[in-house]
């Protein structure tokens, strides 16, 4: 029987004693960024074969802060109280890095989105993260249609 990615990492490398709610918002955003990137890369790869530069270009257009901000803003009304609290903590976290190609507002909102995604992943609620990402991408029109 196959196991989830996270369960597999824990099985092979040891289970963390830290609960998802014990991580800093920026730590949650760190892992959430990677989880979201993997979700988007998987969606794009499943669209069919293509050139890696086209994959990268399409993925980069979706995983950037303005797109993440659009996604989370479109689903805020769907969040539970717990999810909203995690999002707000991430959004309000003071980061040592700054926005490169986005406004500081979009950067902070995107950090909240990443923190929520990371929290859900670490709390073994990847299905909920996928549900919110799918809904947000549908509502914003960010679902990739094809590889160019």
- Cα(69)–Cα(75) distance, rounded to whole angstroms? 10
C-alpha 73 chain-centroid distance = 13
Q: Any idea what DSSP says for residue 47?
A: T
- Cα(74)–Cα(107) distance, rounded to whole angstroms? 16
Tokens of 113: 């989105």
- Say which of 2, 33, 37, 54 is annotated catalytic: 33
Active site residue 33: yes
Tokens of 126: 């990847």
Give the helix/strand (H/E) hosting 122: helix 104-122
- Whether the CB-CB separation of 58 and 147 falls below 8 Å is answered with yes
- Annotated catalytic sites, by residue? 33
């Amino acid at each position: 029987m196959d196991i989830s990615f996270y369960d597999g990492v824990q099985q092979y490398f040891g289970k963390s004693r830290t609960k998802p709610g014990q991580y800093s918002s920026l730590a949650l955003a760190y892992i959430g960024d990677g989880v979201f990137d993997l979700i988007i890369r998987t969606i794009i790869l499943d669209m069919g074969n293509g050139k890696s530069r086209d994959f990268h270009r399409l993925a980069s257009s979706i995983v950037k802060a303005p797109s993440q901000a659009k996604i989370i803003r479109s689903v805020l009304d769907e969040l539970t109280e717990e999810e909203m609290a995690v999002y707000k903590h991430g959004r309000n976290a003071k980061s040592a890095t700054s926005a490169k190609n986005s406004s500081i507002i979009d950067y902070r909102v995107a950090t909240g989105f990443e923190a929520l995604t990371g929290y859900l992943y670490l709390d073994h609620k990847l299905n909920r993260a996928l549900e919110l990402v799918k809904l947000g991408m549908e509502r914003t029109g960010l679902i990739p249609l094809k590889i160019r």
